Amino acid sequence: MRRLTDLVENERQAIETFVQRLLTEFGADIVDVRLFGSQARGDAGADSDLDILVLVKRPDYALKHAILWLAAEMSLAFDVLLSPRVIPPSAWERMAQANTLFYRAVHTEGIPLI
């Protein structure tokens, strides 16, 4: 598993700024934020995106939409591709109970960002 310090500068800045803005703008609704996928494992290619789990307190389309727009803004600002998965706890719990591949990947390789 990698650390954020292993990422290239613009990737690290994009993640740090995204998380900072996420907490500033939506902090009361955020439960957890984790980097996962190839960047977290350390086997990313030059064109790999930054997969980020954003666990929110409740299912809310407007909140999800706002978080996706924030990720798009950060992607453009830092010339990277942030790919957030915005998931409420109820869905996360169902994934855990079913032991889905996605849940296992985030659980084993995820790097906490908050």
pLDDT at position 97 over 70: yes
Position 114 confidence tier, pLDDT thresholds 50, 70, 90: very high
Strand order of the β-sheet with 50-56 is: 82-87, 50-56, 30-36, 111-112
pLDDT tens across 34-78, in order? 999 989 988 888 888 999 999 999 999 999 999 999 999 999 999
Position 1 confidence tier, pLDDT thresholds 50, 70, 90: low
Instruction: Report percent pLDDT > 70 for the chain.
Output: 99
Three-state SS at 30: strand
**Mean pLDDT of all residues in the chain?**
94
pLDDT tens across 2-38, in order? 787 788 999 999 999 999 999 999 999 999 999 999 8
Q: Which residue has the tokens 């032991």?
A: 99
